[in-house]
Amino acid sequence: MRDDEDVKAIVVRVDSPGGTVTGSDYLYHHLKMLREGEGTGRKLPLVVSMGGIAASGGYYLSMAAGDVPDSIFAERTTWTGSIGVIIPHYNVGDLLENWSIKDDSVTSGPLKAMGSPTRKLTAQMAEEEHKVLQELVDQSFGEFKDIVTASRPQLAKDLDKLAAATTGQVFTAKQALDLGLIDKLGFVEDAIDRAIALANLDPKDVRVVRYTQSTGLLGDALFGPTASASSSENAALQFKLDSIAELATPRAYYLFSWLPPLVVNSR
């Protein structure tokens, strides 16, 4: 879209519970670049159309629409919001002990193994690690709120609404509209009409193109660019190993928290 001068406006369809902090910010950054014309000098109006769910990281990247009036649409049945940060952590130390398995990792410092799911913690160790992880969450949460208030300046002026909108709660579309998290209730067709208007185009002389992934739903996102039918077993094994590593690695998410992080691909 950045390279195609026939593109005059963009509608971003968001249907996502979120993802990692870094993945969400990456998408937000590049969408914002498209809208502001950074690197091309060609600003493209950008309108967001929310599907079934646009929560947490899904809401974060929706902020790329900026503070342009009537630029964020949600369907009547959309769930959105969930503005917050979570670092999922599970400890299986007691289970491993029952199996006579002991975590005997050697580290360069007491916090190097922070968040390990296999290490039994004393009360003092747990308190210290929780404090460090909480500081990471708080900083990422502060950055999330900064992104929201930059694109929703009316929330920055109403601290009560801002506080209500940033508890981590997920909202219905009507609740989000009342809080100012979205601009309009409407379907993707309404978002397209708004994009056409923002670009000052003739509705009768516009062609709407839907961009799709050429590799299918799984493709490179799960198995990597070298996967093929002949290497499917190796690819599946790699996916399982990557999934285990994902669960074992402390990572911050802008994620609607009842969904398991294993199902989320950051990019």
CA distance 240 to 236: 6
pLDDT reported for residue 212: 80
**3-class SS at 163?**
helix
pLDDT reported for residue 248: 52
Q: Residues 142-161: pLDDT tens digits?
A: 999 999 999 999 998 999 99
CA distance 47 to 192: 8
Written as six digits, the tokens of 263 are 């199902």
Written as six digits, the tokens of 179 are 């809080």
CA distance 147 to 61: 9
Q: Which of the residues 56, 62, 82, 151 is marked catalytic?
A: 56
pLDDT reported for residue 257: 58
Written as six digits, the tokens of 233 are 């077993």
Is residue 266 annotated as part of the catalytic site, yes or no? no
Torsion sign over Cα 49, 51, 53, 58: negative
CA distance 199 to 195: 6
Q: Give me the domains of the chain, ranges plus CATH numbers.
A: 10-86+139-215+251-263 (3.90.226.10)
Q: Residues 186-209: pLDDT tens digits?
A: 999 999 999 999 999 999 999 999
pLDDT reported for residue 223: 42
Residue 71 has pLDDT above 70, yes or no: yes
Q: Residues 207-217: pLDDT tens digits?
A: 999 988 765 44
Is residue 120 annotated as part of the catalytic site, yes or no? no
**Residue 10 contacts residue 40 (beta carbons within 8 Å):** no
Residue 244 has pLDDT above 90, yes or no: no
Given pLDDT bands bounded at 50, 70 and 90, which one contains residue 102? Answer: confident
Residue 57 has pLDDT above 90, yes or no: yes
Enter the pTM of the model: 0.78
Q: Please give the mean pLDDT across all residues of the chain.
A: 81
Q: How many CA atoms lie within 13 A of 232 on its CB side?
A: 4
Q: Which of the residues 102, 112, 157, 174 is marked catalytic?
A: 112
